[in-house]
Structure 1
Amino acid sequence: MEIWINPQCSKCHSALSLLDAANADYTVRHYLDEPPTAEELTAVLARLGLEPWDITRHGEPVADELGLAGWPRDAESRPRWIEALAAHPALIQRPIITADDGTATVARTPEAVRAALGPPDTRP
């Protein structure tokens, strides 16, 4: 399991605390320092079952600079969104957990973190 975090984010700290409390085996990726590539984002979006605009932090200053509010949200524009997230990782919602079973979740709530861990009887 890998968790993408921003160390300054309170939701990331909460997610890490829950993972630690569950004795989860995970690695931390500081995605602002080690941004995901467009290919990684495409794979994570497939695992999430979401579109790039669904995991975009629209309130970030760079979102305004890029004019994201006016970008189309369609299949043709999808690569443009993914490239923007790869180039400006601050736009990516956090934390994101990619589980060993091939699933992923935007783990902004305790319930989402627990779901990423799987049923209690299958946890390590």
Structure 2
Amino acid sequence: MEIWINPACTKCRVAKSELDAAGIEYTERRYLDDVPTTAELSAVLDRMGLEPWDIARPKETREAGIDLPKDAAHRDDWLAAMVADPRTIQRPIITLDDGTTVIARDEETLGDVVRRAGS
């Protein structure tokens, strides 16, 4: 399992705490320091069935000056912009060993991750 985190993020700290409490092993990726490639971000999005703008953090996206149309023609532009400023990527993103990938910001999603990984 891999979790993309920003250590300053409360939701990321909660997710790590829950995984640790459940004794679940994971690889931590501090995605602000170890920035995903456009191919990695695209693969994560594909596994979630989402588009880049679906996981863009609104405030950070505005601050980064990303003002692109939300359509297939601009998907690669979104990916490039988000990789150029990874603060814009929602977190924490967890990929389970079976490839299932989620944004674990809410208690229900995080609980599901813990149940599935602990099985």
Matched, 1:123 2:118: yes
Is the 2:18–2:114 Cα contact (8 Å) retained in structure 1?
no
* Offset of residue 65 of structure 1: 4.1
User: 2:23 aligns to what?
Assistant: 23
Normalised by the length of structure 2, the TM-score is 0.92
Structure 2: distance between partners of 1:110 and 1:21? 15
Root-mean-square deviation over aligned CA pairs: 1.5
Matched, 1:84 2:73: no
Structure 1: distance between partners of 2:66 and 2:88? 13
1:49 corresponds to which letter in structure 2? Answer: G
SS at match of 1:19: helix
Q: How many residues are treated as equivalent by the alignment?
A: 119
* Offset of residue 118 of structure 1: 4.2
* Offset of residue 53 of structure 1: 0.2
Per-residue Cα deviation, 1:64-121 (whole angstroms, up to 9, x for no partner): 44242xx2111101000011111110000010001111110001012111222344xx
Q: Unpaired runs of 5+ in structure 1?
A: none
User: 2:62 aligns to what?
Assistant: 63
Matches within 5 A, 1:1-124: 1-60=1-60, 63-68=62-67, 71-119=68-116, 123=118
1:108 corresponds to which letter in structure 2? Answer: R
Identical counterparts, % of pairs: 51
Is the 1:12–1:95 Cα contact (8 Å) retained in structure 2?
yes
Runs (4 or more) in structure 1 with deviation over 3 Å come to none
Is the 2:91–2:104 Cα contact (8 Å) retained in structure 1?
yes
Normalised by the length of structure 1, the TM-score is 0.89
Per-residue Cα deviation, 1:21-52 (whole angstroms, up to 9, x for no partner): 11111010000000000000000001111110
Q: Unpaired runs of 5+ in structure 2?
A: none
* Offset of residue 54 of structure 1: 0.6
